[in-house]
A = this chain, B = another copy of it.
């Protein structure tokens, strides 16, 4: 994928926005550690798979939040300044990866 434009979002994330995402990621990090413990305790495979599915769902939700903000700020700003197509191509590329 060609890198389109930025090192940062066009509108910086506020402290609250950052905190909200970081909190969700910390919870996911805890869930990943929880699975390590399940494996070490030799817990039943299906119970482990249920937890892995839960993490995937939580991670997808974080991804969709990041994507939504991206479209509402970076992509929208690009559209307004006439660079919409490049930003949208980049968006679609990453959504294809993400939705696998």
Query: Which residues of A pack against B, CB within 8 Å?
Result: 1, 3-9, 12-13, 18, 21-22, 25-26, 28-29, 32-33, 35-36, 39-40, 42-46, 48-50, 52-53, 55-57, 59-60, 62-64, 66-72, 74-76, 79-80, 84-85, 88-92, 94-100
* A92–B70 touching, CB < 8 Å: no
Among B26, B36, B42, point to the contact of A9 (Cβ < 8 A): B42
Contacts of A95 on B, CB cut-off 8 Å?
49, 64, 67, 95, 99
* B70–A49 touching, CB < 8 Å: yes
7 contacts between A and B (CB under 8 A): A8-B43, A46-B91, A49-B63, A56-B56, A56-B98, A56-B100, A67-B92
